[in-house]
Amino acid sequence: MISIKQLNYALTVQETLHFKKAAEKCNISPSALSTALNELEKRLGLQIFERDNKKVLVTPIGRRVLLQARSIMLQVNDLQEFADNQNSLFSYPLNVGLIPTVAPYLLPKLLPLLNQQYPLARLHIVENQSHLLVEMLRAGELDAAILALPFPCEGLLTLPFWEEDFYWVSLKNEAIRQQDEITTEALKSHNLLLLEDGHCLKDHILDICKMPSSTINRNFSATSLNTLIQMVLGNLGTTLIPEMAIEQLTNQHPSVSVIHLKEPGPHRQLAFILRPNFTRLSSIEALIDMCKKALSTTNVQNN
């Protein structure tokens, strides 16, 4: 079978009209070059070159062969360039899922970094609950998802990148102003508001606090952390939120207090979840680095 190397050797001889010079450009010996071209001509059944000890000429049929060879080499080079581009970071759009207790607080910090470092990168964002994101990931509808662990992800690759604690948010009063932390036992005397069933943050809070779900106020629940904060502002109760959400949810509300939950941490761990055979792992690793950088600016202001 004709090889790409043989075509490249022939084109180099056409360019130099000198076997020794062509061999040097191809980094092979003149005898190896001659052998490869003899094999090419034999396979084609055509004579491409007339050669003697003094000069090399391209035959008329050889010119037609080499014209076709040059076209083939251009296509090969285009194919290689295409393949190289596919291996570059963010060469294709990424479909990434995020849970609602992460997306609004991570994306405003992550996306400017992504646009700065990779202006051509495209992320298609899907926000949904953890179990739905896992289903979409398994079905190939997502390339990756950011979940809070622990969460059942059997058969999927998990790449943790962030750990954080929970903080108690309540309306300020003199007693609360004196507190640096609050224990689970102390929380039992407060009306605690959490997200509705299906949100993994609720399960994580109940697990960390070792509380049965029956102890939570079921008269009020919400589908977002922002709504929980509005309930706190309306004096309907208190709530717990993750560290990454504090700045966005509470900095504009001086009437609320933010106090660390005094339970062994970290209270939750964030991780990228993806299929084990996902081919664009380098892009996910770059996203992980940017997520770490984005979240490293998280600033907690107690009380």
Which H helix or E strand runs over 161? strand 157-164
276 and 159 belong to one structural domain: yes
220 and 196 belong to one structural domain: yes
> Does residue 301 belong to any structural domain of this protein?
no
> Does residue 300 belong to any structural domain of this protein?
no
Which two tokens mark 165?
Answer: 């604690």
179 and 254 belong to one structural domain: yes
117 and 104 belong to one structural domain: yes
Q: What is the pLDDT of residues 192-227, one digit of tens each?
A: 888 887 788 888 888 888 877 666 656 677 888 999
Q: 94 - beta bridge partners? A: 123
> Does residue 121 belong to any structural domain of this protein?
yes
Percent of the chain beyond pLDDT 90?
53
185 and 208 belong to one structural domain: yes
Spatial separation of the C-alpha atoms in residues 133 and 200, rounded to whole Å: 12
99 and 241 belong to one structural domain: no
At 90, phi and psi to the nearest 5? 60, 35
Q: What is the pLDDT of residues 62-119, one digit of tens each?
A: 999 999 999 998 888 877 766 665 556 777 789 999 999 999 999 999 999 999 988 8
At 129, phi and psi to the nearest 5? -70, 160
242 and 172 belong to one structural domain: yes
Spatial separation of the C-alpha atoms in residues 252 and 70, rounded to whole Å: 66
DSSP of 221-243: -BSSHHHHHHHHHTTS-EEEEEG
Domain stops at, among 28, 51, 86:
86
Q: Which domain holds residue 133?
A: 94-163+268-295
> Does residue 302 belong to any structural domain of this protein?
no
Burial class of residue 184 in the structure, from the number of CB atoms within 10 Å of its CB (0-12 exposed, 13-18 middle, 19+ buried): middle
Spatial separation of the C-alpha atoms in residues 270 and 105, rounded to whole Å: 13
Q: How many residues does the chain have?
A: 303
Q: What is the pLDDT of residues 27-73, one digit of tens each?
A: 999 999 999 999 999 999 999 999 877 788 999 999 999 999 999 98
Question: Could you give the angle at which helices 103-117 and 281-295 cross, rounded to 10 degrees?
Answer: 110
| pLDDT at site 219 | 65
50 and 106 belong to one structural domain: no
| pLDDT at site 303 | 46
* Number of Cα atoms under 13 Å in the Cβ half of residue 169: 32
- Quickly tell me which residue has 């008329």 as its tokens: 60
Domain with residue 286: its CATH number is: 3.40.190.10
Taking the alpha carbons of 23, 29, 30, 32 in that order, is the dihedral positive or negative?
A: negative
Spatial separation of the C-alpha atoms in residues 31 and 42, rounded to whole Å: 16
Mean pLDDT of the chain: 87
Q: What is the pLDDT of residues 241-272, one digit of tens each?
A: 999 999 999 988 988 889 999 988 799 999 99
In the chain, which ranges are continuous DSSP H helix?
A: 4-16, 19-25, 30-44, 60-86, 103-117, 130-138, 174-177, 184-187, 200-209, 225-233, 246-250, 281-295
40 and 59 belong to one structural domain: yes
Contact partners, residue 185, CB within 8 Å, separation at least 6: none
Question: Into how many domains does the chain fold?
Answer: 3
User: Residues 186-205, buried b or exposed e (16+ Cβ, 10 A)?
Assistant: ebeeebbbbbeeebbbbbbb
Which two tokens mark 259?
Answer: 């106090």
251 and 204 belong to one structural domain: yes
Spatial separation of the C-alpha atoms in residues 18 and 54, rounded to whole Å: 9
| pLDDT at site 83 | 67
